[in-house]
Amino acid sequence: MGSSEERVVAVIMVGGPTKGTRFRPLSLDIPKPLFPLAGQPMVHHPISACKKIPNLTQIYLVGFYEEREFALYVSSISNELKVSVRYLREDKPHGSAGGLFNFRDLIMEDKPSHIFLLNCDVCCSFPLPEMLEAHRAYGGMGTILVIKVSAESASQFGELVADPDTNELLHYTEKPETFVSDRINCGVYVFTPEIFTAIQGVSSQRKDRANLRRVSSFEALQFSTRSLPTDYVRLDQDILSPLAGKKQLYTYETMDFWEQIKTPGMSLKCSGLYLAQFQFTSPHLLAGGGGSKSATIEGDVYIHPSAKVHPTAKIGPNVSISANARIGPGARLIRCIILDNVEVMENAVVIYSIVGWNSSIGRWSRVQASCLSCEGVTVEDEVVVINSIVLPYKTLDVSVQDEIIL
């Protein structure tokens, strides 16, 4: 265990409106990190995990959304968890390592001994205290959370090779064209402050190369289109790959769940994973069921206290119901996300779907494998919607399948 004099800070990269486009249309009206999974904003889950790190003093959210979009949430979560959370807005994208370096003075204000770096769109159990303990034992500059995946899916991520005895990172390559390893980078790290020296080294090398190229106008023309800005530093290609095999980076393997939250479909899966985790971390957030005065609950279900669910409704498994939603008599909800102010009327069925804010599902209607995104979608009575995406303020009075309703 670390000494009481040690201080730890955490940095969560939240991206910006030009990132996460595959998550649209869910991110059209709300920043992707604030989209609710298992009844909590996406970024809430890594923040809650950071709260468990010993000697944590500060959590920073770094991105290039407007500050006003995070102001209310940052204030609320700081009060709720009794930990200082601050949003730092980048003036422009600096890369995953460059964004960290850009705010180095603030991050180092409390003279932390360790710095956690997490990506917001990662869904996992976040074994951060265990990572920190392993990192101290390794004695390196950084430790990467890794997981074993199928050989077929590994090439979609950063693949790595580690020493089976010491866990030292020996080789790292980002999304290789040929198979390298079934161990991948989970996008969760812990570093010592020496990481800033490494990032500074990359920037300095880029500046030196840029100065050399100015000597030759031909070389300047040749390289200008493919040279990165000197302050744009990628953690994977610019830091992890060059430092692999130099006894500076190590790995910590998780045997638990891990997913990336890139698409609306993945948000459904990850909401279910977090609901299952609540059994161990936050059982008070899961709804009970049974009896004459409450709905029938199957499996893991979150129901916001302000939501109204009729006693004859049947909910679950893997269902999240947000604030002020109204679930009518005989309604059946399975593996879905119901957002704020949604009304699901009598005997309606929602399966494997996301129902957006202020939407309405009519009596005896069925919504399956669909995304009624954004706000104000109305599905009339006895209408069936299957495998479709519906954009805001649309009214469906006929059944649709495999459609995108613009």
| Residue 367 reports pLDDT greater than 70 | yes
Do 16 and 93 meet the contact criterion of CB atoms below 8 Å apart? yes
Do 342 and 359 meet the contact criterion of CB atoms below 8 Å apart? yes
User: 25 falls in which pLDDT band (50, 70, 90)?
Assistant: confident
**pLDDT, average across residues 97-123:** 94
Q: To 5 degrees, how large is the angle CA 342–CA 344–CA 345?
A: 135
Residue with tokens 């209607």: 365
CA atoms within 13 A on the CB side of 5: 0
User: 175 falls in which pLDDT band (50, 70, 90)?
Assistant: confident
Q: How far, in Å, CA of 351 to CA of 338, rounded? A: 11
Look at residue 224 in the predicted model and tell me its pLDDT. Answer: 42
Give 294-345 pLDDT, tens digit per residue: 899 999 999 999 999 999 999 999 999 999 999 999 999 999 999 999 999 9
Residue 313, token pair as written in the block:
């409704």
| Residue 86 reports pLDDT greater than 50 | yes
Q: How far, in Å, CA of 376 to CA of 161, rounded? A: 49
E-state strands within 134-223:
142-148, 158-162, 169-174, 183-191
User: 163 falls in which pLDDT band (50, 70, 90)?
Assistant: very high
**pLDDT, average across residues 140-167:** 93
Q: How far, in Å, CA of 392 to CA of 406, rounded? A: 8
E-state strands within 72-168:
85-89, 114-119, 122-124, 142-148, 158-162
Give 26-48 pLDDT, tens digit per residue: 777 789 999 999 999 999 999 99
| Residue 64 reports pLDDT greater than 60 | yes
Look at residue 222 in the predicted model and tell me its pLDDT. Answer: 47
* Distances from the Cα of 54 to the Cα of 49, 82, 176, 406, angstroms: 11, 14, 36, 49
Look at residue 80 in the predicted model and tell me its pLDDT. Answer: 93
Query: Considering the chain, what percentage of its residues have pLDDT values greater than 90?
Result: 72
Q: How far, in Å, CA of 78 to CA of 86, rounded? A: 8
Look at residue 323 in the predicted model and tell me its pLDDT. Answer: 96
11-41 burial code (b ≥16 CB/10 A, e <16): bbbbbbeebbeebebbbeebbbbbbbbbbbb
Give the amino acid at 285: L
Do 388 and 394 meet the contact criterion of CB atoms below 8 Å apart? no
Q: What is the DSSP string of 23-63?
A: GTTTTSSS-GGGSEETTEETTHHHHHHHTTSTTEEEEEEEE
Do 45 and 59 meet the contact criterion of CB atoms below 8 Å apart? no
**How is residue 74 annotated by DSSP?**
H
E-state strands within 277-386:
296-297, 301-303, 308-309, 314-315, 319-321, 326-327, 332-334, 336-338, 343-344, 349-351, 354-355, 360-361, 366-368, 371-372, 378-379, 384-386
| Residue 242 reports pLDDT greater than 80 | yes
Do 275 and 286 meet the contact criterion of CB atoms below 8 Å apart? yes
Residue 143, token pair as written in the block:
């430790």
Give the global pTM.
Answer: 0.90
